[in-house]
Structure 1
Amino acid sequence: MSETVRKRGSTGYFLLIPGVLWLALFFVVPLYSLVATSLFDPSGSDLNGYEMTYHWANYTDAIQSYWQPLVRSLAYGALATLLCLLLGYVLAYAIAFKAGRWKNLMLVLVIAPFFTSFLVRTLSWKLLLADDGFIVNTLQAVHVLGADGRLLATPVAVIAGLTYNFLPFMVLPLYASIDKIDHRLIEASSDLYANPFVGFFKVTWPLSLPGVVSGTLLTFIPAVGDYINAQLLGSPNQRMIGSVIQSLFTDANDYPAAAALSVILMVLIVGMVLFYVRRAGTEDLL
């Protein structure tokens, strides 16, 4: 009997080998290369290219030079995540409790944008928010925007693009969490003389927190590192850290600075995620 158990245990380890090799090849090795590049001598060498000198000043130089895009990216990502949460929670709640036989169709509509290229979707927003477009003309007609007002190349356009593109990442975890809530608990809160507002924050909201935490993480992390929306919908004044890193890698060929910024962004996001998950206190994610 013990021999059979031992064989089953070894089989499990063998099954882990492909996954471990995949992670080592496509995560550990690139991560090591990125960190190593961030410590190269930024002056380089004409003959040998960059040399490893453990130049830690690359990090301080990167922060001093590009702290504004870094802070802007965190702010845009946070605002887009908040908007996704507000819009996505209402939508997920409606699908879970109100859609009835239309539930599957509405879920398909939520993920339907994924069947189109991310780039095409963002370009569509560029057309919608154009200066002579329907949205701008309507806002000018109701005097929300001035005669020369515009939406394109503004923070509003960038955040709107981020919100639209990452909204499904918020809706799906929220739906999965809300759909599992026993509706009888909500009915019990009303039986105990709780109005809908109190019942929501005492019953529905706490039970949906795992979906809230998952959705905000799935939205915030890619939104902060995104550069397509800022590139197409914004201007140099709305430049995000992803655009800076891409430019340093491909245009300026400043690999140490680009790698240092990438590591800084990664460490910041990991630290914020750990703090957020701890503070959220959801046992399903810890």
Structure 2
Amino acid sequence: YAWMGLLNNYGVINNILMWTGLIKKPLQLMYTDLAIYIGLVYSYLPFMILPLYATLERMDLDLLDAAQDLGASRTQAFWDITWPLARAGVIAGCLLVFIPAMGEYVIPYLLGGPESLLIGRVLFDEFFVNRDWPLASSVAIVLLLLLVVPIVFLQRAQAKNAEGAT
């Protein structure tokens, strides 16, 4: 609800922009894709940061010092050391964000208005507004497949890595 107050036509953002003279009339920020993206990022960013932080905190910083001592630039050290060690946290964070965000229907409803068509919103509308259970069930199966496929690929990749490590 806070984002609705910030993004509406006479909300805080538009008032500040008009007060500073950057715009003459309010921008249409509510009921746009941008509003949905802002709401989703705001809601799910902690679920991405937490596993990434946990992974990076366990990283041995002496590895970066050793890479720089051996002549690696900061960019090379990032791509050769930090990125491979952080990859598991990035993947875990992506899954923690992807799975609930795919089924999200409240944020698109509040910030995107009736024109927004995210799969969670379509599923909600078909079940509870249109009462079209066969179509809603089909959409739910599609959503389930969209959620299961990345998890299966991740598990197979982890199994290959485990086999390669032994």
Shift of 1:148: 4.0
1:174 matches 2:52 = yes
Q: Percent identity?
A: 37
2: distance between equivalents of 1:208 and 1:154? 34
Does the 8 Å CA contact 2:44/2:97 hold for their aligned counterparts? yes
- What secondary structure does 1:149 align onto? coil
Query: Aligned match of 1:260 in 138, 141, 147?
Result: 138
Q: Deviations over 1:147-171 (max 9, x none)?
A: 3422111101101100010111111
Shift of 1:188: 0.8
Give the TM-score normalised by the residue count of structure 2: 0.85
Change (3 A) 1:197 1:265: same
2: distance between equivalents of 1:263 and 1:204? 38
Report the count of equivalent residues: 161
* Equivalent residue letter for 2:122: V
1:215 matches 2:93 = yes
Of 134-143 and 195-204, deviating more is: 134-143
* Equivalent residue letter for 2:64: I
- Give 1 or 2 for the bigger CA radius of gyration: 1
Change (3 A) 1:210 1:169: same
Change (3 A) 1:188 1:174: same
2: distance between equivalents of 1:280 and 1:161? 32
Does the 8 Å CA contact 1:210/1:282 hold for their aligned counterparts? no
Higher relative contact order (CA 8 A, sep 6+): 1
Partner of 1:233: 111
2: distance between equivalents of 1:142 and 1:187? 49
Q: CA RMSD in A?
A: 2.3
**Correspondence 1:82-101 to 2 at 5 A:** none
**Correspondence 1:181-220 to 2 at 5 A:** 181-220=59-98
* Equivalent residue letter for 1:196: R
Structure 2 gap ranges (5+) = none
Does the 8 Å CA contact 1:176/1:211 hold for their aligned counterparts? yes
**Correspondence 1:1-286 to 2 at 5 A:** 123-139=1-17, 141=20, 143=22, 147-275=25-153, 283=161
* Equivalent residue letter for 1:257: L
1: distance between equivalents of 2:74 and 2:58? 19
* Equivalent residue letter for 1:199: A
Give the TM-score normalised by the residue count of structure 1: 0.51
